[in-house]
Amino acid sequence: MDERLKDLLRVAREHYQRRDYDRAEPALRQALALHGELADVHDMLGVILHDRGDLVGARFHFANAARINPAYTEALMNLAVTHADLGDYEAAREVYRRIQSEHTGTTSDPFVRGKIANMHADLSQAYLDAGSPRDAIAELRRAVDLCPRFPDLQARLGNLYRDQGNHALAREHYTAAIEANPRYAPAHVLLGLTMLALGSPDQAVACFRSALSVDPDNKSAKMYLRLVEAQRNARAARKTSSSREGASTPT
């Protein structure tokens, strides 16, 4: 590598790391003019263009980075996200498969596994926004399979099942979220709402109280607990009133 190229890369990386993209981009493009097969330069240019909203240009550079270095996990992840941002969900899914098939060793790394799981979750949201809940569930299941101890992913999958009317599976995933992190208050609240839908108000109350035990200021738990207890008190009052009326009726 000649000195001119080394100097350009040094300057470009310094500006890039400081997120001074306006200064990094010219140096990166000059570096590519001298040597076009630099995977990390293509990846950095892709990030810069994506940040500016030029998704087509970003995809071009991420694809080049992945072509030059097929094991470049970061570039592949960036390419998948950009495909999804462009609405090309099948292409995004194919890149996810490529990451998992070509990097079977690295997916044992919790950091890499977590990033891939979050990408599946992002794709799930994209499918949901596009009106395809089945595909959304499939992608979020892949995320949960990779990282079953991520309570937010478990809860999001529970939400998708709940929205489809499958309260039994929703309960399963909310419970898994709580097992992963007992202090994750949103899962306690969501499980409480599901128990209400399943006709178990006493268990719902227990869930809302559990949420308040870990997050005393949780407004949702407070509101739902008041509603359920008010309904129970109203039913008890009606029952008492009916009993008194029956006792006072002349025979």
* Coil vs helix vs strand at 251: coil
CA atoms within 13 A on the CB side of 175: 10
pLDDT at 130: 84
Residue with tokens 């990282």: 147
Q: CB-based contacts of 171: which residues, under 8 Å, 6+ apart? A: 158, 191, 194, 195, 198
Q: What is the pLDDT of residue 106?
A: 47
What backbone torsions phi and psi does residue 147 show, to the nearest 5 degrees?
-135, 75
Q: Give the span between the Cα atoms of 190 and 215, in whole angstroms.
A: 14
The set of residues, in sequence order, having a beta carbon less than 8 Å from that of 153 and lying 6+ positions away, is: 117, 121, 140, 143, 144, 147
Q: Given this model, what pLDDT does residue 242 score?
A: 64
Amino acid occupying residue 33: A
What is the model's pLDDT at position 34? 86
Q: What is the mean pLDDT of each run of 10 residues along the chain (251 residues)?
A: 82 91 94 87 95 95 92 85 88 83 58 81 86 92 91 95 94 96 95 93 94 94 91 73 59 51
Distance CA 190, CA 175 (A): 10
Burial of 107 (0-12, 13-18, 19+ CB in 10 A): middle
d(CA 21, CA 40): 15
Gap between the Cα atoms of 201 and 207, Å rounded: 10
At 105 the pLDDT is 47
Query: 3-class SS at 10?
Result: helix
Regarding pTM above 0.75, the answer is: no
